[in-house]
Structure 1
Amino acid sequence: MSRKVDSVKDINDSKETWRLAVRIMDVWSVVNNKGIEHLEMIVMDSLGDRIQVLIRHDHLLKWKEVIKENMTCIINNGSVYNNDFQWKVCDHSKKIVFLGGTTMKAIELQNIPPKGYFFKDFGEILQGKCKTDRLEDIIGAVSEINHIQSNTPGKKVVVSVVLKDLKLPTNEQKEKPTQSAKSLSNWSGGSQYSPVERFVHNAKCMSLSQFCKIKHETLYVTVATTLKFVVSKYGWFYYGCTRCSSKAPNPEKAYECSCGQKVEQSIPRYKIEIYVSNGESKYRFVFWDSECAAILGMTAEFMHNSMVENGEDDPMVYPDELEILLNKKMAFRVKVQPTFSQASVWKLCDDEAFVKEIENDYIV
């Protein structure tokens, strides 16, 4: 088990678990008028497609000394937004922003050229066939320099230049470098109740739009569709007791769990955060070990060990098999935790008839 590499041209805002094999073509620092610094860079994959990347000031210390121009690497995880940079350096409509859960591993990738220029012809610029907010690659010579000094203190010097076209041969100008399963946890209620009645017992049923306004912790039942993973710095699993789901204080040391179990070695257990949606409403749900294992048909320990055997030791890499959890309409019994803007999934079911009955008969 591993995660396939994505193409830069396919990047969109449908997920955060992107895995890119790229070369860092350029990296630069930006300081705003308040003195706050962030990093921007341009990365390119083996197909020659490029995208602009932003590293916020709160992640600057982690990455400033790690990122080097012209290095090749594997980047995992990142938020995707519309490319709203004031000055764009490529045509991609999206940009990537590093998360707390973003990882990067330097690796030699011979299939990505060291440089990739996309030269703009002077004739096209003069004809207006260019974007005014994009930085273009051109080949020319400075034939005249004009200095225009602002009289306002603190303002930068404005320099205008006249360029002479040094056109390359035409063939060199723009060449690109070369399973689904049903899950319903057991309920200890009496047999006189139907599965749906046991599912909603002692819980309030409401739509997700109402659900998002809850201000106190309690049990709720709702219907929603899983949308995309929320990538956190903790990844998709944690190390826990071999008997219960308690988190291990240190996975490498023996300890006595609160359940009374003497634990010599902890095991990986699922803990996956997923955005769910219904209409325009969206909320963050936390899926735990037993529910994930029921849908995926395998334990977190098995999935983790399989990844390690295939040479993937980065705990922040979300294996492709986890995507079975996405795009599924389900009924959820959850405990809402408004302090953390999340809900903890206690039970779930993706049986179509079951979901429809709850949606039609219980949710107003």
Structure 2
Amino acid sequence: MAKPFEKINDINKMKELWKIAVKVHHQWTVISNNKEHIELIFVDANGTDVHVILPTTLKATFDSVLFVNNTYTVTNFLPQINDLMFKTSEHPFVIRFIAGTRVSDINKHEIPGKRLNFKPFSEIISGNWRNDLLVDVIGLVEEIGYKHMSAGSKKQQVNLILKDLV
């Protein structure tokens, strides 16, 4: 008998063998110390999301498999405490792919896209938000402020003035 799917909400450190049906909501590449790894946001059929980390050693294996808006069955991954400085998900854990992680059933699941939870500017200004959690905002770029280079880096900082459209 096939192992049933579990929900992202149920992911914890109490076990190692998981089987989830997910949709890739977002994907990006992180470069650190001249090494690249992939990070993603998975969402399940209940709309629950979780941050996912694919280490450098597995990047080549999954880079040509995982795409935004595709659905997958993902098994055998490592849940770890979400201690990231800036969290993309409220889930207390992140999923880390390991050598035994398997991805299959491409686009065989019916999973809607992640619901965006827009935060009004008034709540942000009043401090009514978690400062370690990234939030969704929608607004109009009213003005582009000054640009400057970060000291000792090639990174550029650009300040934007946003206008709330609510």
- So what's the TM-score if we normalise by structure 1? 0.44
1:59 aligns with 58
1:136 and 2:127 correspond: no
SS at match of 1:149: strand
- CA separation of 1:163/1:15 partners in 2, compared to 1, >3 Å: closer, same or farther? same
Q: Which has the higher helix share?
A: 1
User: Which fold has the larger relative contact order, with Cα–Cα distance below 8 Å and residues 6 or more apart in sequence?
Assistant: 2
Amino acid paired to 2:9? K
> Could you tell me how far apart the structure 2 residues matched to 1:134 and 1:151 are?
24
2:28 aligns with 28
1:164 and 2:151 correspond: no
Question: Is contact 2:27-2:40 (8 Å) kept?
Answer: yes
Post-superposition offset of 1:151? 6.6
1:185 aligns with none
Once the two structures are superposed, the pairs formed by residues 39-78 of structure 1 within 5 Å of their partners are 39-78=38-77
Post-superposition offset of 1:77? 1.2
1:5 aligns with 5
Question: Is contact 2:58-2:99 (8 Å) kept?
Answer: yes
Post-superposition offset of 1:154? 2.8
1:80 aligns with 79
SS at match of 1:62: helix
- So what's the TM-score if we normalise by structure 2? 0.93
Post-superposition offset of 1:115? 4.1
2:146 aligns with 147
Aligned residues: 165
Once the two structures are superposed, the pairs formed by residues 285-296 of structure 1 within 5 Å of their partners are none
> Could you tell me how far apart the structure 1 residues matched to 2:150 and 2:53 are?
34
- CA separation of 1:85/1:39 partners in 2, compared to 1, >3 Å: closer, same or farther? same
SS at match of 1:9: helix
1:222 aligns with none
> Could you tell me how far apart the structure 2 residues matched to 1:82 and 1:100 are?
19
Runs of 5+ in structure 2 lacking a partner?
A: none
1:311 aligns with none
Sequence identity (%): 33
> Could you tell me how far apart the structure 1 residues matched to 2:30 and 2:150 are?
25
Post-superposition offset of 1:133? 2.2
1:114 aligns with 113
Once the two structures are superposed, the pairs formed by residues 1-364 of structure 1 within 5 Å of their partners are 1-32=1-32, 34-105=33-104, 106-110=106-110, 112-150=111-149, 152-167=151-166
Compute the RMSD of aligned alpha carbons: 1.4
Question: Is contact 2:53-2:96 (8 Å) kept?
Answer: yes
Question: Is contact 2:43-2:113 (8 Å) kept?
Answer: no
SS at match of 2:69: coil
Question: Is contact 1:74-1:107 (8 Å) kept?
Answer: no
- Look at both structures and tell me which one has the larger radius of gyration over its CA atoms: 1
SS at match of 1:147: strand
Q: Which moved more, 1:18-27 or 1:83-92?
A: 83-92
Q: Which has the higher strand share?
A: 2
SS at match of 1:125: helix
SS at match of 2:24: strand
